[in-house]
Amino acid sequence: MNRARAIRYLTVPSQAAPALLIVIFGALLALATKASLLGIPLALLLITGFFNYANLLLDRLADGIAEPPVLSIEMMNPVGSSRTLMMLFCAGIAFFLSGAASWWLGAVPAVLVALLFASVLPAMIAVQAVTGSAAQALNVGINVRLMQRLGTDYLLIAACFVLAGALGSSVVAADGLPLIVRLAFVMYLWLALFCLVGGVLHERRDDLGLDQIPEEIDDATTDATLERSRTRQVDLIYASWRGGAYQNAWKIITTQLEQSTDPLAELRWLYARIARWPDPRLANRLAGELLPRLLALKHTGEALDIARARLATDADFRPGSSNDLLTLARLARDAGDRPTARALLRDFTRFYPNDRSQPAADVLAGQLER
C-alpha cells in the first residue's frame, strides 16, 4: 500500500459521522469520570459502544464501502459482539502486564511488553474481523500466517499501532490539556488504526485468500461464524438505512444475496431480522423479493403468512407484481381468510395502474363481496 492510500484510510475518522461520535462520546466519557462510581456503568456502555463502532467501521472499509456508518442503538449493546469483548479483554491483559513489568522490572520491560502487544494486536483484529471468532484471533499460527501474507503492509500497520500508542500515551499524560481533548485524540487514533486495518484487508483481499485462513473450523463454528457475519451485515444495513442512504442499504443486501450459496435462506433470515424494525419500508421490499420465490417453490403457507404480517404492519403493502397479488388473494380466499384477500385487492388500480390483470382482480373482488 502506498503512502497516499494509507493516509486516506487514516483520515476516515475525520468525516462527519465518526467525528461527531468522537465529540459526543468524548464529552460523555469526561462526564462519567467526574461521576466517580456512578459513572462506571456509563463509561462501560460508551467504551463497548465505541469498540462496536470501530469494528463496524473496519468491516465497511474491508468490504470496500467508503462511507462511514452512522451510530445506531444496536451498536450500543454491551454484550452483543464477541469481537468487542475480546478486545476489551486483551487491552486489560496488556495493561496489567505492562503495569506489572514496570512495577517488578522497571520501565524498559514495560515498554517491551507494550511494543509486543502493539505489534500483534493488528493481526488479532484482522483475523477476528475475517473469521468472526475470538478463538481464531488467539490462534498464533493463523496470526503468523496473516502477518507473512501481508508482508510490508503488516509492518506499516504495526508501525502505525506503535506510533499511535506512543502518541496516545503522551497526550493522556499531558495534564495541561482538557480531559475531553485527550479522550477525543485517543478515540481518533483508535478509529484511524481500525480504518487502516480495514483498508489493508480490502486492498490485499485477493492476495490474502482470507477465506482459507480458518481451515480447522468445524461445522458448528462455521454456523456460528455465518450468524455473526449476517449480524454484522444487518448492522451495516441498519446504519445506512438510518442515515438515509437507502440505495446503499439495498446494495449491501443484493451483494449479500449474490454471494450467498442459498439466497432463499439468506432472504428469509434478513426478512426475519428487518421485519422487527419500526420502519416497515425495507421489510416490505424484502417481502417483495421473497414472495415470488416462495410462490414459485409452492411454499404457499409461508408466503401467505408473510403477506398477512406485512398488511398488519402496513396497510399499503402489496407484492411486486399483480400476478403474485392475485395468487395470494386466491390462496387467502381458499383458506377462508377473506379479510386478507380483500385487503390485498383493495385499491388495485392505485398500486397497479393500467394493469392487464385488472379484470381478473375485479372478478375476484366481486366474488369476495358475496
Residue 181 C-alpha cell reads as 481533548
Q: Give the model's pLDDT for residue 28.
A: 92
Dist CA 270 CA 229 (whole Å): 12
**Mean pLDDT of the 53-79 span:** 76
- End-of-domain residue from the set 162, 190, 217: 217
Which residue type occupies 8? Answer: R
Among 336, 335, 274, 266, CA closest to 309: 274
Most confident of 166-170, 239-243, 323-327: 323-327
pLDDT higher than 70, residue 85 = no
Of the candidate ranges 193-197, 206-210, 261-265, 310-314, the one whose mean pLDDT is the lowest: 206-210
Range of the domain at 356: 220-369
pLDDT higher than 70, residue 280 = yes
pLDDT band of residue 27 (cuts 50, 70, 90) is: very high
User: Is residue 206 located within the same domain as residue 232?
Assistant: no
CA distances, 272 to each of 265, 277, 301 (Å): 11, 10, 16
User: Is residue 359 located within the same domain as residue 305?
Assistant: yes
- Whole-number mean pLDDT of the chain? 82
User: Is residue 152 located within the same domain as residue 258?
Assistant: no
Give, as one character, the DSSP assignment of residue 36: G
User: Is residue 207 located within the same domain as residue 256?
Assistant: no
Which residues have a Cβ under 8 Å from the Cβ of 69 and sit 6 or more positions away?
A: 17, 53, 56, 57, 60, 235, 236, 239, 240, 243
pLDDT band of residue 305 (cuts 50, 70, 90) is: very high
User: Is residue 195 located within the same domain as residue 224?
Assistant: no
User: Is residue 112 located within the same domain as residue 150?
Assistant: yes
Q: Give the model's pLDDT for residue 273.
A: 87
Dist CA 156 CA 196 (whole Å): 10
User: Is residue 294 located within the same domain as residue 208?
Assistant: no
Q: Give the model's pLDDT for residue 326.
A: 94
pLDDT higher than 60, residue 231 = yes
Dist CA 362 CA 348 (whole Å): 9
User: Is residue 211 located within the same domain as residue 235?
Assistant: no
pLDDT higher than 90, residue 317 = yes
Question: For the chain, how many structural domains are there in total?
Answer: 2
Q: What is the pLDDT of residues 257-266, one digit of tens each?
A: 888 888 899 8
- End-of-domain residue from the set 217, 236, 251: 217
Q: Give the model's pLDDT for residue 36.
A: 76
pLDDT band of residue 100 (cuts 50, 70, 90) is: low
Q: Give the model's pLDDT for residue 209.
A: 52
pTM of the model: 0.57
